[in-house]
Structure 1
């Protein structure tokens, strides 16, 4: 039995090393100067921590015709992610609340139609979404990009909250109604305080999906409001006399840093929220 556990541990350790190898290469390369990069191998440690590649990727690297680094793209993503996550989470909570506690004729059909959006390929909505944004005069704007992400994330947030709220006894709503609680009172004073685990799951899910999205950012953003993923693509594809792989790796890490921080700090709460009922039903 002990040998079996040792073998299993060795296999898991080997798989972990394989999984983490690309991250190690990115980190090691980003802290090397160009001379150290050419002198050493791909897996060699940097002779010293050189932050010049990080500084250039952030503030002066060329991303097409501009050489302002990833900073403006990063700030655009922050300005896009925060309202999109908040709005999609609140609307998903309201949808889940109505579909479980205030059921009406056709509510199951409506939920099925909303659920269809979870499995619909993103490419299908590009053309109709472009037309709608044009009608609303929101084409190539940050507000339009936020709207796109809210609509794209609404099926998932509705699914999370609906399944979580299925575990809330219907008698709780009836008792609150007898005490004079209305639609909003029950939602804000009773249901929302019980929703901590699923709010955590939804926020992490939406933040990661929106921050890492490239397709919507490339299609619906304007020249001055492109997100970090588009900026990173422009950085990697901008040609120069010497390809600076250390700058590219630093840029990739800058783009990935917010989601890494979120999962490191809140990953355990994400798992707890799922097990508390986010995928139940």
Structure 2
């Protein structure tokens, strides 16, 4: 076995150095947020952004959660956080199931004009959401669900439908037609094939869509600020209100703790299920 040339080892060292530098640059804001959220007011005034806290102080986290002011209300992020939970979970599940059914029909039960319908549906992937704010607000008003969590659920289901349909349609396009023909010969119908054959083999793309939709819905600010009421504002709106509430002394540690609280669910989802996201993508989620 011949030894690898020195240039190869130098290239690997340079590559690792560039990657580590990029990772450090990307993680530096997160580090600043974490250490700042664990400091008290005296440490913030006397230290610097990169210094470690003298002790683990979680008072800023408690204040951000339960007593920080978000405008005139001083109940912290807790109510906004639960609004996002009650909104995100049904919106993610409904939009994923809806997209799976659309993808199933558009790939395996094609009808006349299905390709045209799919092409028109894809306009929703590229359309700026600002365009639909006014007509959507009118529709929510007609339905009597404006400024409510139910209205936000409907908005996010409709906004996510083009993406979820695209994911499932492209994934199901790789399913052999012979499999469906064999099932039909055995007497299986539309729903039997979908529930007993297609869904059990859809775990990778289901995980991709669940993670994608949860991230998009939880992190959304535009729809949250446009369509929510006093009792339905999501955590992103609450975080914005908290950060923009003025006081005699700016509590940066509370702001950082609040930002981390708002980000924790999406971080947890990627930590716990990130490997399934990668597997789903490589299994055909973005193949044409």
TM-score surpassing 0.5?
Answer: yes
Matching of residue 230 in structure 1 with residue 229 in structure 2: no
d(CA) in 2 for partners of 1:277, 1:18: 32
Give the structure 1 partner of residue 107 of structure 2: 100
d(CA) in 2 for partners of 1:168, 1:183: 15
How much has 1:196 moved relative to structure 2?
A: 0.1
d(CA) in 2 for partners of 1:4, 1:202: 37
Matching of residue 261 in structure 1 with residue 287 in structure 2: no
How much has 1:3 moved relative to structure 2?
A: 1.4
Query: Larger deviation: 9-18 or 45-54?
Result: 9-18
> What are the residue-to-residue correspondences of 1:35-54 with 2, within 5 Å?
35-54=42-61
Aligned to 1:134, the other structure's residue is in SS state helix
Give the structure 2 partner of residue 246 of structure 1: 253
Give the structure 1 partner of residue 180 of structure 2: 173
Matching of residue 217 in structure 1 with residue 224 in structure 2: yes
d(CA) in 2 for partners of 1:221, 1:170: 45
- Which ranges in structure 1 are unaligned for 5 or more consecutive residues? none
Matching of residue 193 in structure 1 with residue 193 in structure 2: no
Instruction: Choose from 120, 123, 127 the match for 1:116.
Output: 123
Give the structure 1 partner of residue 5 of structure 2: none
TM-score using structure 2 length: 0.97
How much has 1:32 moved relative to structure 2?
A: 0.2
Aligned to 1:275, the other structure's residue is in SS state helix
RMSD: 0.6
> What are the residue-to-residue correspondences of 1:47-66 with 2, within 5 Å?
47-66=54-73
How much has 1:5 moved relative to structure 2?
A: 1.0
Give the structure 1 partner of residue 4 of structure 2: none
d(CA) in 2 for partners of 1:3, 1:42: 34
Matching of residue 182 in structure 1 with residue 189 in structure 2: yes
> What are the residue-to-residue correspondences of 1:27-38 with 2, within 5 Å?
27-38=34-45
- Which ranges in structure 2 are unaligned for 5 or more consecutive residues? 1-7
Aligned to 1:263, the other structure's residue is in SS state helix
Give the structure 1 partner of residue 91 of structure 2: 84
d(CA) in 2 for partners of 1:189, 1:11: 48
d(CA) in 1 for partners of 2:126, 2:211: 19
d(CA) in 1 for partners of 2:142, 2:74: 34
How much has 1:171 moved relative to structure 2?
A: 1.2
Matching of residue 273 in structure 1 with residue 250 in structure 2: no
d(CA) in 2 for partners of 1:186, 1:4: 52
Aligned length: 281
Aligned to 2:249, the other structure's residue is in SS state coil
d(CA) in 1 for partners of 2:17, 2:84: 40
Give the structure 2 partner of residue 155 of structure 1: 162
How much has 1:167 moved relative to structure 2?
A: 0.7
